[in-house]
Structures are given as C-alpha cells and as structure tokens.
C-alpha cells in the first residue's frame, strides 16, 4: 500500500515525464527552426540533452548524500521550478539566438553546439536531477522502494508526454501553449508536496504558484512577438508537422520561410524558368508531369508547355496550402495537389510520367537523402515513359566548387548515371541534373524557340551564364570514383556533412576527440553493471534511429507512423521493466539471455530489412520497436538486482542509460550510418553488446 | 508568516540571481524584435593566422610588393588597410601573403583557381566595351569576410588548399587573346590580394591592346592603388553599405578606405562603376541610400554608373529573404532624384532598370535583354537623339 507521500511523488514523476518530453520535443523543434536542421545538429541536440540529463542524475546522488538532503518539500519546490523553467527555456533559446549571433546568418557547428549546450543545460540538468531525487525522497520513508518502479513511472510519463505532444498538441496548440499546458500539469502535481500542513508558509506558496502561473501563461500572449522575423512583416504563421511555416510581406514581395530559411519568394523567375523549361523543352510534348515539391512560379512556366495533367506532390499539406494562398504556386485547372510522401507515392502509383521535376532541398538529412539514392532514381525511371525526362537540382557554385562540393556533385552524378543512360548537368546558381533514356540537350534556348515558348531569363541570360566553357568545367570536375549513394549505405550524407564543415571552415575532429575522451573517461570509471546499461541505452537509441531510418526509406516519411515508432520504443520499456521486476530469477544467465536477445534482434532486423526491403509492412517496424525496447526495459531491474539497488547504484544506472542513449544518438546519426551504412551500424551494436555479454560472463560471486 | 533569516535570504537571493542569469524572460521583453545593427558580433574582421605560413615559398610565390620590415624579421603589409603585421611563419588576413624568414611573399602568382570567359555585363560593367567578353581570373584570398560572399569557396580559402591552373602572366594574356576576349578581368575573389600577379599580367595585357578590369571591394591602400591605376582601364567597386558599422558586421571591413578608393579612381579618371548590394534588414534603409547618393554626387559627380543589386541568400547569410524588386526600383528612383545619371537594377531579369537612358533627353539608349541588346541608340559615344556624350567606353 502506497503512502500519501509516495502517491504524491509518483504523480510528480509522471507529470515530470509528460512535461519534460513535451519540452524536449518543443526544444528540438525550436532549435531546428533557428539553426540548420541537418542530421548533425539534430544529433548534437539529442546528445546535449541526454548527457546533461545524465550529469543531473549523478549530481542528484552527490547532492542528496551531502548538501541537499531529500525531502518532499524540496522535491515540491524543484518540481515547481522545473515547471516554471519550461517557457524560460524555450524563450531563452528563441530570443538569445539573434542576440548572440548576427541576425539572418547561419552558425557553424561549434557555435551551435555551445549554444544548444548552454541554453538547454539548466533545464535538462534539473530534469535529470529530479528522477533519482524523487526516488531518494521516497526511500526516506520506504528504504527498500525499488528503483525500477521509478523507472517505469518515468517511462509512463515519457510515453504520455510524447503521445500528447506528437498527436494532439502539435495540431491544436502553439509551442508556448503546449509548454504552458504541460507545465501547469507539473505545477499542479507539485502543489500537494508544498501544502501548509507540511510547514510551508501559505503566503510563500501562493506567491510561488502565482509567479509560476504568470511565467507559464504570459509567453502565450506574446508568442507572436517573440518569433524570428528577418524581413518585412509577419503575415502568416503555422506550426506544421514538417516545421515552422512563416510568411513575411515586404514591399511587393511575399517570402515563405520553413524553419527560418526562406524557401519561396514572390519573384523567382530565374529558378522557375530553369526548373520548368530545362526538362520540359527536351521532348516535343509532355502530356503528364509530376512535380515533387515546387519552386515559386514554376506552374506558370510549366503551363506554357500545355501538359494535360500535372501532379504536384507535397509532403506537407500546410506548406502546399501556404504556397497556394500567397500565390507562390499558381492554381491550375490541370493540377492535382497530392499530400503524400513522394517516394511512397511513386511506389504505389501506376501512372507513367513524361516529365518528373523534383524541387527538393539539399539532401542534408536522412529524410531528404532517400530522394538522391540509386533505388529512388531507379524508381523514378520505372515511372517515366520511354521518352521521359527526370530533373532535379542541387545547390550550385558561382565559379569554383570546394572539394566537398565536387564530391557531393560527383556522388549524385554517379548515382544517377547508374540508373539512367543519359545524364546532363546545367550549371548556375542551382545545378540542374537532367536524366533520361534518350539523349538530352543543353541548347535550351534553341529548343524553346523551336517550341515557340517565350521566356525572360533563359532567352536573355542563358548564353552568357551557361557557356560551353562552364558546361565543360562542370562535366570535367566530376570524380568518377565518388561513391554511389544507396538507401542502406547513404554515403552522400558524409559528403554533406563535409560540405557543411567546409562552409564554416571548421573540422569535427576536435569534437570527436573531446567526445571520445569523455566517453573513455566515463567508461573507465563505470562499474560493470553501468557498462551493461550504457550499452543497452546505446543499443536502444541506435536501434530507434536505425528503425526510423529504414522506415523512411521503405515505407515513407509518414508523420503519424514515425511518431508511433518513437512511442513504441518508449512504450516497450514499460512492460519490459515491469516483467523484469517480477520474474523470480535475476541471474547472470538471465542477463546473458537478454544481451543475446538484443544481439539476435539486431542481426535479424538488419537481415530482414536488407533482404525484404519494401516488402516489409509498417507493422513490422512497430512490432520490432516494441519487442526490442521490451528486452532493453527488462534488463534494467535485472541489473539493479544483480549489482545493487542502493541510491548510488540506482543513480549510476539512470546515468548509464542516459549516457548510452546520448552516445547512441550521436554516433549512429553522424558516424555509423553515413560511414558504415545500415549493416555496419547493426554490426557495431552487435559488437558493443558482445563486449557487454563477455563482461557478464566473467561476473563472479553473483546469484 | 515566519520571519526570514539570513540563510533563507541568501538562498532566495541566489535563486533569483540564477533565474536572471539563466535567461531571461525578464530580458526577453526588451529583446523582442532585436535591432540588427546591435545584435550578434559587431565586427567580423579577419585576424592574422599565426604560424600558418608554409615553411618555404612555392612555385607560385613571389616576393610581395608594398611591405616594410619592422624590428628585424617582422613584416608589415601595406597593400590594404588591414596592415597585417606578420612575424616569420605568419599568414595575413587575406590568406595569400605570408612572412617566410623575414620576407613577405605572395602565394598567388600564376595559380588562378577560377578561369572563365564572361560577358562584361556580368561584372557588372555596362558602360565599358559593351557586349564584349572578359577573360576572368581569380586566385584564392580576400581581405574581407563577407557573410554573403558568392565566391566564398575561393575568397575564404588558402591558395594551397584549392585546385588551380598554372597560368603565369604571359600565359593569361595569350589565353585571353586566343579566347577573343577584349579584356582581362581580375575578379571573383578579391583581386587586390593577388596584386603582383594582377599588375604583371595587366602590364603585359596593355601591350596586346587588352583592357584590364579590376572587380574589387576597393579595400586597398593609396600607394598600391596608385600603381594599379597605371594599368587598369575600368573597375567595378562594391560600395557595400554607407555605414561603417555594417561594413564591420557583415563584411569585416571599413567604409572610409573604400570611399577613399572611389575618390582616387575618380581623380585618376579611371572608368568605374559602383555596385551596392541591397541586403534586406541591413542596407535597405532609405535614409542610408539617400546619404550614400548624396556623397556620390558630391565626391564623384553624376556620371559614374551605380548598380543596385538584388541580394539572394548566400553562404552564411541564408536566413534573409531576397531583396524585394520594389525596393530596388525605389532606390533607383532615389538615386536618380539625387542626380546620379545612370542607375541600374541588377540580378532582376526583365527589369526596366537594366536599360540605359540618355540623361539629357531621357530617351532609351540601350535596351538590354540580359547579355544582349534590343536597341542601341549610341553613335560615337553620344546619344543618337540629342548628341549628348554618354560617359563610358563604347568601342
């Protein structure tokens, strides 16, 4: 039977889980809206969050043992503080960005790293601190209270918080509203521990509640004014699944921003003409045209070729709606807007197109990279008519490409060349790749003249900008040895990372060295049990990333289903930990079996994905995520039982789990997948878990 | 309510200080809509690269001009207003000038990393040998750090780190002649940083009746500029902002030396055109543009063509929108109202501001469709309608 105190503390743990996960997701979205949203940045945000959280759990043990004795009142105050810090955390990130950095500018890796670390540290440290501290408070009354229960309650809160945000709040509330809502839940949960009958002054409590409520609610009313607006007046703002959409109006121009970067603007003749006419002029007539995402003004240009049917596929309905609303994409009777993942759409459709025009951003995330792989190009080829043309663009260069640029372009070129017999590149601000079964021409103006199509930019500028010398320069710089980009071995990603570092004239070497030293230091001082939990935390996070990575490739970027994968990875831990806490035999053999299961599951996943590819149903990934995290969750209580469930060990276990997850997120995203591919990443997880297995095997003197 | 003791007071105080330091909603209220001029770093000027010079000169090195020896082995570069003081082993801000053993060398001589043949209108030079081609070369390096640099790949790189051709001055001139170009443009990166290479090439080019075009940020000291004026025929110099704070913040440069360059070119009667890139939120301020135009009229006169160029997100400045076309049109009107006779709008295909109109009779002289002409109403450098001489070189 739980005491009144225990019940109150369990409510706090649940509420902390809900609030912290909602805040974490909002924090990540905020960073993506303020900084370059490439995979490196995403991994670093996760890493910082988890590693600081891990430091918080360690601090909890040290503090509780010396200068900050656990008490329900202290837990209550800290929880109230955590609730109030949520909007402060988000506002700090948002407002300081343009104070610390030059407005309108992008920031390099180290600047982003330090900024994300410092701005999230206070909140994530406190959240990391709260979990073990809650346990220590309970243990003052019930010294044998199991750490596993806290672990389970925290996970229930996390699952609830993740689901609440991903499936409800994101669609009905702004970031500040979501923060206020989740913060109020935590505040309400904290109040019972601060009631006057515990010795807290009623005046102090009232003042604190009023202050926290004010801090939580005031930002809701000033939210619009806190948004970053880099040009003109903000006339449209939506938080969409794919990111923050804003539209500004200045003079005669509307500019649409996605996550702070301008992606469409009223006057865009150069790009619109090039994107439409370069491919469409190649053939006498295009009956059916497919556009994957779009650039401003492209519809007006496509219309000049009078196709019978235009399918416009846009992943984000909100983005397509905004483009149409501000006339950045012109409505057309022959155009059908399809809200779908383009890759999933192409896999399903039976239609064949004369021209496919892809206007996606640079492939600097795994989500985008899968549109520049051999499998995707082959898929497009299957959907083209015999005479069809596929075009896409990559960021160009004015006069000289860096080596990183050269390798990136070469890799994409070689990948396309592996699928199409004819490839032509046209240089400029954007480099256009034209691919087809039949030969393609670069004499675009002549073709357009023959077709009687009038243009402004191409007619007047093409000859001066796209000279024979520049065409030859681009052709000659292609490195035939550059790697082919494959779905399960996305080598283009590391070239994109290299390009990003080249842009800021920095190298990740120092970061790798520092991270490696921290990891080494941690592992040297970690106990055997902590190492096993570290490896499980690593494996769980790495597998989650790997599962999402594979799901996107073979099923598509389907927001709800990816949200479900994240949820099942959290949800599986619960029954796992519960079962682990209730089995009779907590032996070394059990632990070895669990590690063996992780190894086998990882191997099975790699083999299944590589062999079955698109034949795997979505439910496979969901079931896999659940089973995998079930096993990981199972390990937690077993390890606590084997290695001790005193405050020190419990705190160390929480830390090990978080540190493992932090390095799992980081290494999988930025090193393992780009360099070793899916199979190599699976091998790395198996390798790490094999070491863990060996360590368990040499444990002496246990049950 | 219980009286507060000293311990509680200190705790409460510490908590308050933590909250204020952590981040402020308090500060947040005053931060809403931060002013660009006061946000972020104020000065992004480059620094000397200590110990970054190669051990010895390479094949494409020459002893630099315009430097002095200081305290035995230190060298002080006099090429640009950065005035880099280099100890042996150091590399200058521009990345192309180094101190090796107490001697200053340029690492950019005969090793252009970009070589292209461009329409002269692309520089942009609209009043100099129209419709001709410019053999364009660049070596790596720049004395600025512009956040929106179009050629950052070479301007922010060391000469040793880029792929390059081998074209010594006489080779450049030969290649330019063979390509049928009317001129050689020193462009793309910052031409001043490969000064010796440019001067020597330009000197030979003159003997072959090729013109020399200096496309620059104008950040050069008077002495070297005087040397340059002897060999260049035309220039396009960027006036990035009429505000020293913006120069420091966006470009890592300073305004006054650039203004001095314009005055020198004007005095030396070099044909030059001025380009002003209109960056939203920074240089799209009407008051600033009015001041800039007033200065041009007063210091340089009415005849030097002025280009308002459209910004598009580039390099590190990718979170700003492109310049609205209406803003460029408005600035053109402001400049013409100030008295400047030839004001153009750049980077906007199809804009009326690409055409040349006679400042006297206001009739259309040159209708430009990109790099081609629709109409050409000049005869012997004069307006075909009213006979007014039009400034420029119209061969």
User: Closest Cα of chain B to A675: distance in Å?
Assistant: 25
Contact in structure between A370 and A553 (CB atoms under 8 Å): yes
* Chain B CB contacts of A505 below 8 Å: 156
| Interface membership of B33 toward A (CB under 8 Å) | yes
Residue A580: predicted pLDDT: 87
Asked if residue B8 has pLDDT above 60, the reply is no
Provide the pLDDT for residue B12: 52
pLDDT at residue B31, as a whole number: 45
CB contact under 8 A, A463 and B325: no
| B113, B114, B281 ranked by CB distance to A103: nearest | B281
> What integer pLDDT is reported at residue B311 of this predicted model?
96
According to the model, what pLDDT value does residue A383 have?
97
Q: Give the separation between CA A42 and CA A35, rounded to whole angstroms.
A: 10
B256-292 confidence digits (pLDDT tens): 999 999 999 999 999 999 999 999 999 999 999 999 9
Q: What angle do CA A284, A287, A293 make, to 5 degrees?
A: 110
Chain B: nearest CA to A215, how far in angstroms?
8
A226: closest chain B residue by CA = B32
A333 part of contact set with chain B, CB < 8 Å:
no
Q: Does B41 touch chain A (CB under 8 A)?
A: yes
Flag whether residue B176 sits within 8 Å of chain A, measured between CB atoms.
Answer: no
Contact between B236 and B273 under an 8 Å Cβ cutoff? The reply is yes
Contact call for B156 and A95, based on CB within 8 A: no
Q: How far apart are CA B320 and CA A33, in angstroms?
A: 14
Whether residue A429 contacts residue A394, with contact meaning beta carbons closer than 8 Å, is answered with: no
| Averaged pLDDT for residues B387-391 | 96
User: What residues pair up with B105 in beta bridges, in sequence order?
Assistant: B63, B98
State the number of CA atoms in the 13 A half-sphere of A161 facing the CB: 27
Q: Is A232 on the interface with B (CB under 8 A)?
A: yes
CA B153-B140-B347 angle, to 5 degrees, is 55
Q: What is the pLDDT of residue A339?
A: 93
Query: What was the pLDDT predicted at A585?
Result: 66
Instruction: Look at residue A425 in the predicted model and tell me its pLDDT.
Output: 97
- How far from chain centre, in Å, is Cα A676? 20
Q: Chain B contacts of A470, Cβ < 8 Å?
A: 116
User: Å from B252 to nearest chain A CA?
Assistant: 13
A233: helix, strand or coil: strand
For residue A226, list chain B residues with Cβ-Cβ distance below 8 A: 28, 32
Which of A91, A105, A326 should be substituted to probe chain B, the one whose Cβ sees the most B Cβ atoms within 10 Å?
A105
**Distances in Å between the alpha carbon of A312 and those of A316, A345, A378, A383?**
12, 11, 20, 15
Q: Which residues of B touch A457 (CB under 8 A)?
A: 349-350, 370
Q: What angle do CA B22, B23, B25 make, to 5 degrees?
A: 140
Query: H or E element: which one contains A478?
Result: none
Cβ-defined contact of A88 to B41 (cutoff 8 Å): no
Please tell me the predicted confidence (pLDDT) of residue A584.
67
Q: Does the CB of A95 have a partner CB in chain B at under 8 Å?
A: yes
- Report the C-alpha gap between B284 and B329 in whole angstroms: 12
Percent of chain B with pLDDT over 90: 86
Q: Dump pLDDT digits (tens) for B185-211.
A: 999 999 999 999 999 999 999 999 999
- pLDDT reported for residue A230: 79
Q: How far apart are CA A425 and CA B192, in angstroms?
A: 33
Distance of CA A403 to the CA centre of its chain: 27
Measured between beta carbons, which residues in chain A are less than 8 angstroms from residue B350? 269, 456-457, 460
Question: Rounded CA gap, A195 and A190, in Å?
Answer: 9
Contact A253 B32 (CB under 8 A): no
Tell me which chain A residues have a C-beta less than 8 angstroms from the C-beta of B151: 398-400
Contact B324 A267 (CB under 8 A): yes
Q: A457 and B313 in contact by Cβ < 8 A? A: no
Residue with tokens 């462009």: B187
Quote the pLDDT of residue B28: 40
| B306 within 8 A of B286, measured Cβ to Cβ | no
State the DSSP code for A285. -
Where does the pLDDT of residue B29 fall: very low under 50, low under 70, confident under 90, or very high at 90 and above? very low
* B 44-73 near A (Cβ less than 8 A): 44
Q: Among residues 177-216 of chain A, which lie with CB inside 8 Å of chain B?
A: 201, 203-204, 215
| Test mutation, B17, B153, B181, B374, chain A, max A CBs within 10 A | B153
Confidence of residue B20 (pLDDT cuts 50, 70, 90): very low
* β-strand pairing of A309-314 with A335-339: parallel
Looking at the complex, report in whole angstroms how far the Cα of residue B151 sits from the nearest Cα belonging to chain A: 6
Q: Where are the alpha helices (DSSP H) in A245-385?
A: 269-280, 298-303, 317-325, 342-348, 366-369, 374-382
Chain B residues with CB under 8 Å of A503 CB are 152, 315-316
Residue spans of chain A under pLDDT 70: 1-2, 584-586, 645, 699-703
Query: Quick check: B143 and B80 in contact, CB under 8 A?
Result: yes
- Helices and strands: H and E segment counts in chain A: 27, 11
How sure is the predictor about B2, in pLDDT bands with cuts at 50, 70 and 90?
very low
CB contacts, 8 Å: A222 with chain B? 29, 32
Cβ under 8 Å to B: A residues 451-480: 456-457, 459-461, 463-465, 467, 469-470, 473
Q: What is the mean pLDDT of residues B170-190?
A: 97
pTM score of the predicted model: 0.90
Residue A379 Cα distances to A366, B138, B395, angstroms: 18, 42, 55
pLDDT at A392: 98
Q: How far apart are CA A207 and CA A212, in angstroms?
A: 9
What is the rounded distance in angstroms from the CA atom of residue A661 to the CA atom of residue A50? 7
pLDDT at position A150 is: 87
Compare all CA atoms of chain A with the CA of B284 and give the residue at the minimum distance. A231
Question: Does the beta-carbon distance from A89 to B23 stay under 8 Å?
Answer: yes
Asked if A560 is an interface residue toward chain B (Cβ–Cβ < 8 A), one would say no
Q: What are phi and psi of B80, to 5 degrees?
A: -130, 170
Report the residue from A215, A231, A401 with minimal CB separation from B280.
Answer: A231
Q: What digits encode the pLDDT tens for the residues B133-164? A: 999 999 999 999 999 999 999 999 999 999 99
- Contact predicate B141/B84, CB 8 Å: no
Residue of B nearest to A229 (CA): B33
Rounded to the nearest 5 degrees, what angle is found at the Cα of A396, between the Cα atoms of B309 and A455?
65
The reply to whether residue B281 touches residue A230, judged by beta carbons under 8 angstroms, is yes
Chain A and chain B share a number of CB contacts under 8 A equal to: 201
Nearest to B324 among A251, A461, A473 (CB): A251
Q: Strand, helix or coil at B30?
A: helix
Residues 55-94 (A) with a CB less than 8 A from some CB of B: 85, 87-89, 91-92
Query: What chain A residue is nearest to B368 in terms of C-alpha separation?
Result: A460
| Contact yes or no for B349 and A269 at CB 8 A | yes
**B370 interaction partners in chain A (CB closer than 8 Å):** 457, 459-461, 464
Q: Report CB contact under 8 Å: B116, A473.
A: yes
Q: Which residues contact B241 (CB under 8 A, 6 or more apart)?
A: B247, B250, B251, B255, B276, B279, B282, B283, B288
User: B151 and A400 in contact by Cβ < 8 A?
Assistant: yes
**What tokens were used for B235?**
């220039």
């Amino acid at each position: 039977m739980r005491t009144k105190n225990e019940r109150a503390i369990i409510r706090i743990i649940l509420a902390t889980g809900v609030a912290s996960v909602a805040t974490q997701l909002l924090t990540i979205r905020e960073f993506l809206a303020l900084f370059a949203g490439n995979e490196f940045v995403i991994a670093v945000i996760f890493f910082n969050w988890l590693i600081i959280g891990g430091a918080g759990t360690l601090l909890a043990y040290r503090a509780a043992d010396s200068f900050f004795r656990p008490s329900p009142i202290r837990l209550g105050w800290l929880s109230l503080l955590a609730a109030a810090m949520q909007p402060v955390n988000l506002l700090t990130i948002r407002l300081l960005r343009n104070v610390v950095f030059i407005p309108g500018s992008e920031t390099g890796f180290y600047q982003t790293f330090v900024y994300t670390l410092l701005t999230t540290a206070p909140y994530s440290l406190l959240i990391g601190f709260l979990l073990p501290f809650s346990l220590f408070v309970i243990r003052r009354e019930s010294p044998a209270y199991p750490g596993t229960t806290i672990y389970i309650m925290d996970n229930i809160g996390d699952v609830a918080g993740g689901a609440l945000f991903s499936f409800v709040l994101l669609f009905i509330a702004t970031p500040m509203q979501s923060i206020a809502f989740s913060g109020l839940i935590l505040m309400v949960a904290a109040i019972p521990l601060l009631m006057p009958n515990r010795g807290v002054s009623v005046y102090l409590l009232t003042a604190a509640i009023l202050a926290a409520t004010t801090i939580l609610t005031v930002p809701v009313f000033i939210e619009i004014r806190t948004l970053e607006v880099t040009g003109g007046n903000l006339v449209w703002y939506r938080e969409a699944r794919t990111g923050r959409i804003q539209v500004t109006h200045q003079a005669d121009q509307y500019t649409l921003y996605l996550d702070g970067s301008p992606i469409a603007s009223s006057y865009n003749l150069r790009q619109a003409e090039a994107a439409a006419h370069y491919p469409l002029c190649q053939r006498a007539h295009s009956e059916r045209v497919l556009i994957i995402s779009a650039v401003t003004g492209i519809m007006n240009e496509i219309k000049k070729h009078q196709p019978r049917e235009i399918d416009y596929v846009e992943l984000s309905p909100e983005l397509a709606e905004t483009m149409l609303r501000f006339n950045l994409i012109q409505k057309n009777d022959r155009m059908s807007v399809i809200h779908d993942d383009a890759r999933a759409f192409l896999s399903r459709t039976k239609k064949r197109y004369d021209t496919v025009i892809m206007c996606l951003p640079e492939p600097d995330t795994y989500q985008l990279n899968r549109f520049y792989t051999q499998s995707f190009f082959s898929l497009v080829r299957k959907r083209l008519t015999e005479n069809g043309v596929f075009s896409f663009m990559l960021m160009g260069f004015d006069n000289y490409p860096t080596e990183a640029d050269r390798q990136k372009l070469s890799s994409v070129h070689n990948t396309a060349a592996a699928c199409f017999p004819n490839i032509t590149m046209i240089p400029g601000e954007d480099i256009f790749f034209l691919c087809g079964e039949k030969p393609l021409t670069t004499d675009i103006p002549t073709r357009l003249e023959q077709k009687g199509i009038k243009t402004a930019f191409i007619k007047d500028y093409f000859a001066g900008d796209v000279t024979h010398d520049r065409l030859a320069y681009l052709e000659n710089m292609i490195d035939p040895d550059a790697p082919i980009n494959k779905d399960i071995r996305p080598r283009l990603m590391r070239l994109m990372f290299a390009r990003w570092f080249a842009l800021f004239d920095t190298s990740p070497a120092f970061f790798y060295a520092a991270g490696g030293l921290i990891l080494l230091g941690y592992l040297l001082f970690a106990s055997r049990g902590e190492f096993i939990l570290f490896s499980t935390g690593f494996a769980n996070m790495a597998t989650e990333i790997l599962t999402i990575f594979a799901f996107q490739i073979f099923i598509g970027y389907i927001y709800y289903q990816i949200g479900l994968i994240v949820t099942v990875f959290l949800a599986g831990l619960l029954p796992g930990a519960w079962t682990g806490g209730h089995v009779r035999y907590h032996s070394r053999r059990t632990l070895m079996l669990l590690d063996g299961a992780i190894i086998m599951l990882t191997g099975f996943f790699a083999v299944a994905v590589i062999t079955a590819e698109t034949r795997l149903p979505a439910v496979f990934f969901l079931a896999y995520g659940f089973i995998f995290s079930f096993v990981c969750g199972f390990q937690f209580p077993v390890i606590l039982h084997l290695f001790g469930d005193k405050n020190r060990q419990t705190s160390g276990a929480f830390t090990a789990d978080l540190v493992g997850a932090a390095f799992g997120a980081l290494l999988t995203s930025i090193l393992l997948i780009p360099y070793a591919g899916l199979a190599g990443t699976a091998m790395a997880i198996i390798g790490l878990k094999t070491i863990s297995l060996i360590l368990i095997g040499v444990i002496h003197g246990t049950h | 309510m219980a009286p507060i003791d000293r311990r509680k007071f200190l705790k409460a105080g510490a908590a308050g200080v933590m909250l204020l330091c952590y981040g402020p909603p308090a500060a947040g209220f005053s931060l809403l809509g931060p002013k660009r001029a006061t946000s972020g770093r104020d000065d992004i000027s480059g620094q000397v690269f200590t110990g970054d010079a190669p051990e010895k000169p390479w094949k494409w090195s020459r002893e630099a001009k315009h430097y002095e020896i200081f305290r035995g082995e230190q060298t002080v570069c006099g090429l640009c207003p950065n005035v880099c003081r280099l100890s042996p082993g150091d590399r200058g801000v521009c990345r192309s000038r180094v101190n090796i053993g107490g001697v200053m060398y340029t690492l950019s001589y005969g090793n252009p990393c970009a070589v292209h043949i461009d329409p002269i209108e692309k520089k942009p030079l609209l009043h100099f040998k129209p419709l001709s081609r410019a053999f364009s070369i660049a070596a790596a390096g720049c004395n600025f750090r512009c956040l929106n640099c179009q050629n950052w790949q070479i301007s922010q790189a060391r000469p040793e780190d880029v792929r390059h051709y081998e074209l010594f001055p006489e080779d450049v001139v030969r290649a330019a002649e063979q390509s049928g170009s009317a001129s050689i443009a020193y462009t793309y990166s910052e031409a001043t940083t490969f000064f010796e290479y440019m001067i020597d090439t330009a000197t030979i080019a003159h003997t072959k009746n090729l013109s020399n075009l200096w496309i620059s940020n104008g950040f050069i000291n008077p002495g070297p500029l005087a040397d340059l004026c002897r060999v260049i025929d035309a220039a396009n110099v960027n006036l990035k902002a009429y505000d020293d704070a913006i120069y420091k913040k966006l470009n890592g440069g300073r305004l006054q030396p650039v203004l001095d360059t314009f005055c020198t070119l004007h005095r030396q009667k070099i044909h030059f055109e001025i380009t002003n890139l209109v960056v939203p939120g920074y240089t799209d301020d009407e008051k600033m543009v009015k001041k800039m135009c007033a200065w041009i009229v007063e210091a340089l006169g009415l005849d030097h063509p002025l280009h308002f160029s459209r910004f598009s997100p580039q390099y590190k400045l990718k979170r700003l929108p492109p310049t609205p076309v209406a803003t460029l049109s408005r600035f053109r009107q402001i400049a013409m109202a100030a008295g400047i006779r030839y004001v153009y709008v750049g980077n906007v295909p199809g804009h009326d501001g690409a055409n040349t109109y006679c400042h006297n009779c206001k009739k259309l002289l040159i209708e430009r469709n990109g790099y081609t002409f629709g109409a050409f109403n000049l005869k012997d450098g004069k307006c075909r309608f009213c006979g007014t001489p039009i400034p420029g070189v119209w061969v």
